Structure 1
Amino acid sequence: MPIDNPFTTAVSEMPPRFAGRKTEKDLFSTNLKYLKEGNPRNLAFVGDYGTGKTVLLKEFSNMAKDIFCITFPCHQFENHAQFSNFLLGTIDRRITVSKSKKILEIFKSHVKSLTVTTPVGGGGIEFKEDDPAFDPMNRMINIFESLYKAVDQPTILFFDDFQYYLKTIGQSEILKPAFTVLTQELEYDIMLTVCGDLNTFEGVQELHEPIARFFEPRRIDPLSRDEIDDAINVPLKSLGCRFTDEAIERTAELSQGRAYYVQLCAHYGLNEARNRQITPEDVSAGLRRVLNRLAIEHFDNIYNGVSPDQQTILQVIACSDRPLLHKEIINESESHDVTESSAKMSISRLRESNVLVKARNKYQIREKLFEEYIRGKSLLI
């Protein structure tokens, strides 16, 4: 059916309808109020791949139009100097885009005081970690102090895929002390809001630990069935199209409420439709393209990153029409040349890596779409 498809297939792109996330938005609104009152509080949200973390930060930025916001995108660093250089470059570009020459000049004048070796602008200032004068924490303080003095207003710093930043700067060594200086000693109104994967704060076991108190990390919940309906059918209303209740149920089943997966199922399901009432059969018909997309972006890395025996375990579970007991997995795996000891170890490692989940003593693959992907690859069928 020829129709302009409103649903996105691009990772991190804003959907046509931002549905749900009321809890997260209410919390951000509350903290936004605290920031304007001079009492900044930090936020951290963690979630699975495809839960819409990047889009959530974009929505927060839209909610804070009257505040100076800057987003630091996903990036990985080899050392603290690279991290500092990345901060400077991102800030320089953000201010340049805002077309405020005065702010940029003030920022550069403050940053120039950090070094006399390389001017700001063009390639940007460059720190070197082997410089005996290089101090990662003070560099972070000075960079954000320069930014705050330049914009001269409450500021929100958004960090996406924050787990990569913590690998460089550590969970407590630099971040918390630096922002304690900025917000408490210097009394700057700077608020951190970050998103990361479920392992972002790995090792933080207790809420009273410093980094947990600093952020109070919250997990992003899946979209509910009604929120999925809202995300899909509201954009379609003006086109005279509608996903039937059964099609919404099928989308909810496959996506498990992950916002990006919802967009993929909706996009490819709509492409398969032959009339303006999109059916569960249309959603299922689009599944192959959904899996092809996710294979490239995500699933191939997971599957190819485990051992051959673990792949066999996954195939055994994926090809079953129900969750399996531990012994059932082992027995079936042995018929495919996986020893009992290797099967036990494989199950354990797949659970540790969060690929398998156990409920009521039975095992299943955590992601429904990943299960469909494995079933499509399986040699056991």
Structure 2
Amino acid sequence: MVKKPVVSNPFKPSAGHLPPILIGRDGVLDDFLEGLDDGSGAPGRLMRVTGARGVGKTVLLAEFRRIAEERGWLTISETASKGMAQRLLDHLKPAKGTFEFTVEPSVNAFGVGGSLGAMRYERQRMPLDLRDAMSLRLDALERRDAGLLVTVDEVQAADRDDMVAIATAMQHMVSDDRNVAFVFAGLPSMASKWLNDEVMTFLRRAQPERLGDVGLMEVSDALHDSFRQTGIVLDGEPLRIAAEATAGYPFMIQLVGYSIWRIANRSRRGDGDAVVSEEDAHRGVRDALSRLGDTVHGPELDGLSPVDKTYLLAMAQDDGPASTSVVAQRMGKSVKYASRYRMRLLEAQVIVDKGYGKVDFAIPYLREYLREHAAFIRMSLER
């Protein structure tokens, strides 16, 4: 009996996992590829990627590394946290360290050298700094027409000393016409944090790439094609339900696709195609929304202050963009007081400015999540 091949789910709704489709990111991928082709100093080799959580920044960095590695480049990936520069240095150091011996003479009571004292040895830190480390590694890479790509994610959380060290080393590499590329990604707030730092003016030259939502027509085409390639038909009204439920939010595209595909695949009979029904689509969307709340909305709120959450609860009472003056009134605070938290939430990309004194939620379905969990959130604020 011939074993039927297992068809895996084409959607990957997990943090940083590279999905088979990068919907709506052709432009930024072309910029990066062009940068590699155009050589040292090309704009696409120094890039900053910004966007709200869940728009695919981490996935895009992974795709950049895949592209570079296909060309034989060395790629190093870091997520910003204290000690990042040292970890990067450790990646670049030779695999085998050398040892050095130092002699520490003792001194007698008269200030005259006595015995030689204890001899100790320590692992030598080779190379001595990031600039040296990059240069030595690039010497070998460039001999075979390869280069070095460094990507850093969640840059808004980086330690300043780490960022200064990495930016300074990269600036020297670019000035020396070395075969390097540096892409850093994070929330939009990172721009004001790092690009205005006088020590890191080099980073202002980075090509800006801001990721946003994907057009629903592109979403619809991608869902249809991805399902079809695995022998499942998603078309007509079920396709419309699925595409509109994503709101063009990249993480939700993966969640909706994953959930609906799993339901339809379970009903597949024999070797024939399965067809997604409207009920399948609705069930998949409900599953996706539940998981969106657990993986995006809940953690997002956990990182906010009590007043931030109060501001969001006041916003959630409206079905669309909320007036900032009305939000302040609902909070029982002055507009000036509430505006401080408005700015914090804007910088964190939890909300977006809609002009004329109005704001709205940046993350799809956050309004609905807040309404559904309002009682629990208010109880937690009172503790």
Q: TM-score, normalised by structure 1?
A: 0.72
- Out of 68, 71, 74, the residue aligned to residue 69 of structure 1 is 74
- 1:147-193 CA-to-partner distances (Å, cap 9, x unmatched) read 2133334313231315167424365x4344323332333x4222223
2:355 aligned with 1:339: no
Larger radius of gyration: 2
Equivalent pair of 2:46/2:206 in contact (CA under 8 Å): yes
Equivalent pair of 2:323/2:358 in contact (CA under 8 Å): yes
How far is the alpha carbon of 1:205 from its aligned partner?
Answer: 5.9
Q: After the TM superposition, which residues 258-273 of structure 1 pair with which residues of structure 2 at under 5 Å, given as runs?
A: 258-272=249-263
Identity of aligned residues (%): 20
Equivalent pair of 2:214/2:250 in contact (CA under 8 Å): yes
- Out of 333, 341, 356, the residue aligned to residue 349 of structure 1 is 341
Equivalent pair of 2:156/2:189 in contact (CA under 8 Å): no
- 1:66-125 CA-to-partner distances (Å, cap 9, x unmatched) read 231313132411xxxx33441244447xxxxxxxxxxxxxx347x659999554xxxxx7
CA distance in 1, matches of 2:59, 2:77: 13
2:134 aligned with 1:147: no
How far is the alpha carbon of 1:330 from its aligned partner?
Answer: 4.7
Give the AA of the match of 2:352: V
CA distance in 2, matches of 1:198, 1:176: 18
CA distance in 2, matches of 1:114, 1:42: 38
CA distance in 1, matches of 2:242, 2:34: 33
How far is the alpha carbon of 1:214 from its aligned partner?
Answer: 3.3
Shift of the 308–30 alpha-carbon distance from structure 1 to 2, 3 Å rule, reads closer
CA distance in 1, matches of 2:179, 2:210: 25
* Aligned residues between the structures: 334
How far is the alpha carbon of 1:347 from its aligned partner?
Answer: 5.7
2:218 is matched with: 227
1:98 is matched with: none
CA distance in 2, matches of 1:214, 1:189: 17
1:169 is matched with: 161
- 1:245-279 CA-to-partner distances (Å, cap 9, x unmatched) read 55555555554433222101221233455795546
CA distance in 1, matches of 2:358, 2:181: 44
Shift of the 177–353 alpha-carbon distance from structure 1 to 2, 3 Å rule, reads same
Q: TM-score, normalised by structure 2?
A: 0.72
How far is the alpha carbon of 1:210 from its aligned partner?
Answer: 2.5
Shift of the 305–16 alpha-carbon distance from structure 1 to 2, 3 Å rule, reads closer
CA distance in 2, matches of 1:62, 1:375: 41
Equivalent pair of 1:266/1:283 in contact (CA under 8 Å): no
Shift of the 24–305 alpha-carbon distance from structure 1 to 2, 3 Å rule, reads closer
1:83 is matched with: 84
- Out of 207, 210, 220, the residue aligned to residue 216 of structure 1 is 207
CA distance in 2, matches of 1:154, 1:39: 15
The farther-off stretch of 45-54 and 246-255 is 246-255
SS at match of 1:239: coil
- Out of 185, 200, 203, the residue aligned to residue 195 of structure 1 is 185
Shift of the 295–114 alpha-carbon distance from structure 1 to 2, 3 Å rule, reads farther
How far is the alpha carbon of 1:213 from its aligned partner?
Answer: 4.1
- Out of 342, 352, 376, the residue aligned to residue 372 of structure 2 is 376
Equivalent pair of 1:154/1:190 in contact (CA under 8 Å): no
- Structure with the higher strand share, 1 or 2: 2
Give the AA of the match of 2:182: L
CA distance in 1, matches of 2:75, 2:221: 29
2:229 aligned with 1:238: yes
CA distance in 2, matches of 1:115, 1:295: 57
The farther-off stretch of 353-362 and 41-50 is 353-362
SS at match of 1:202: helix
Equivalent pair of 1:270/1:283 in contact (CA under 8 Å): no
SS at match of 1:73: strand
Give the AA of the match of 1:196: G
Shift of the 170–250 alpha-carbon distance from structure 1 to 2, 3 Å rule, reads farther
CA distance in 2, matches of 1:147, 1:114: 22
Q: After the TM superposition, which residues 299-310 of structure 1 pair with which residues of structure 2 at under 5 Å, given as runs?
A: 299-308=297-306, 310=308
1:55 is matched with: 59
1:8 is matched with: 12
1:22 is matched with: 26
1:160 is matched with: 152
2:323 is matched with: 325
Listed as ranges, the gaps of 5+ residues in structure 1 are 93-106, 120-124, 128-133
2:313 aligned with 1:315: yes
How far is the alpha carbon of 1:141 from its aligned partner?
Answer: 0.6
CA distance in 2, matches of 1:54, 1:160: 9
CA distance in 2, matches of 1:308, 1:191: 41
Shift of the 53–236 alpha-carbon distance from structure 1 to 2, 3 Å rule, reads same
Shift of the 318–248 alpha-carbon distance from structure 1 to 2, 3 Å rule, reads farther
Listed as ranges, the gaps of 5+ residues in structure 2 are 1-5, 103-120, 269-273, 377-383
Aligned Cα root-mean-square deviation (Å): 3.7
SS at match of 2:27: helix
How far is the alpha carbon of 1:377 from its aligned partner?
Answer: 0.6
2:361 is matched with: 365
Give the AA of the match of 1:76: S
